[in-house]
A = this chain, B = another copy of it.
Amino acid sequence: MGDSLLKCVEGRDDEIIEQCICDVARTVQKSLDIPLESIRIVVEEVSKNRFAVGDKLKSEV
């Protein structure tokens, strides 16, 4: 088991996200020394006006 949930701000090309998923999977596989098949990666993209650092929305900066 090496389940990773990655959240990032929306707006990237599919290829970027897809490559990131593969890269994280391989990193977890090496770091934890577990089979690739036991790893699951999910990416959730968040709207800029649904995410804030402190009280500053990402859509404002």
Contacts and interface: CB of A to CB of B under 8 A. Distances in A.
Interface of A: 1-9, 12, 14, 16-32, 34-46, 49-55, 57-58
This protein's copies in its complex: 6
**Residue of A12, A19, A28, A31 most packed against chain B (CB within 10 A):** A31
A6 B7 contact: no
B16 A32 contact: yes
11 contacts: A1-B7, A1-B9, A1-B58, A4-B24, A17-B49, A21-B50, A21-B57, A23-B30, A36-B54, A38-B54, A45-B50
Given A32-B12, A42-B46, A46-B42, A52 B5 contact: no
